[in-house]
Amino acid sequence: MTPKIAIVYYSTYGTNHQMAQVAAEAAEAAGAEVRLRRIRETAPKEVVEGQDAWKHQLESMQDIPEVTVEDMEWADGYFFSAPTRYGTVASQMRAFIDTLGPLWMKGGLADKTFTATTSAQNPHGGQETTLQGLYITAAHWGAVSVPPGYTNQVLFEAGGNPYGYSATAGQFDDKGRAAVRHQSERLVEMTRRIVAGRAEQRQAA
C-alpha cells in the first residue's frame, strides 16, 4: 500500500521549512506519496517586510503550494511543523486549523495519523506544550497520534523529546535531521499499516 502523507508547515525564518523538507524527503524514500504544503502567512505585510529575514524566507517559499482543505482530505497521515509562540503553536498554523471545521464535522480528519515537530528560540521555550497542544487538536479530530517516543537512539542524541523533534531556532543540525527522518519514516510505517488494514476490511466485506 502507498500511504498519502501531507507535510504541513509554517516557517518564519526557515528552521521549520528545513525540517519539513527533510520530513518530505524521508517520507518519499519510505514509499509514501507526499504533498509538501506551507501555511499561508497571515501577518500584516508591513510587519513581514519590516524584517529582512522574515521577508526573505517568505519569498524563498513561493514555489511551495499553500495548504488547502483538499490536501487534508486527500492525506492518510499528517506531519505538522511550526514554531512555538508563547508556549503554543504559531497563530498562522492555528488560523489554518480553524478552517477545518466542515471537514472535521463530516469525519474527514478521523483515523488519519498525526505527528508534529516544532522549534523555539531556546531549549526550554515551550516546545513540549506546543507539541502537546497539537496532539490535543489531533485527538479532537479522531486522528491517531504517532509521536516518536524513544524508538531510536538518535532521539536521545537530538534532545530527547518523546513528543516530536524540537529544534532551537536556526540550529537544525545533522542529529536533528536524523531525528526528523526517523519521525517521518515512523509516521509512514504506521500509516501504511492502517491503510492496509482498511483495505483488508473492505475486501473481507
In this predicted structure, what is the pLDDT of residue 113? 98
Per the document, the length of the chain is 205
pLDDT beyond 80 at 205 = no
Domain range spanning residue 177? 4-204
pLDDT beyond 90 at 201 = no
Judging by DSSP bridges, how do beta strands 166-168 and 88-89 pair with one another? unpaired
Per-residue pLDDT tens for 38-84?
Answer: 999 999 999 999 999 999 999 999 999 999 999 999 999 999 999 99
pLDDT beyond 80 at 25 = yes
State percent of the chain over pLDDT 70: 100
Contact 35, 78 (CB under 8 A): no
Q: What is the mean pLDDT of residues 33-38?
A: 98
- Domains in the chain, number: 1
Report the chain's mean pLDDT, rounded to a whole number: 95
In this predicted structure, what is the pLDDT of residue 203? 80
* Nearest-angstrom CA–CA distance, 28 and 25: 5
Query: Following CA atoms 164, 152, 16, 62 in sequence, which dihedral angle do they give, to the nearest 10 degrees?
Result: -120
Query: For position 134, which CATH number holds?
Result: 3.40.50.360
Give CA angle at 113 (180, 76), nearest 5°: 105
Please give the grid coordinates belonging to residue 2: 502507498
State percent of the chain over pLDDT 90: 87
In this predicted structure, what is the pLDDT of residue 1? 81
pLDDT beyond 80 at 167 = yes
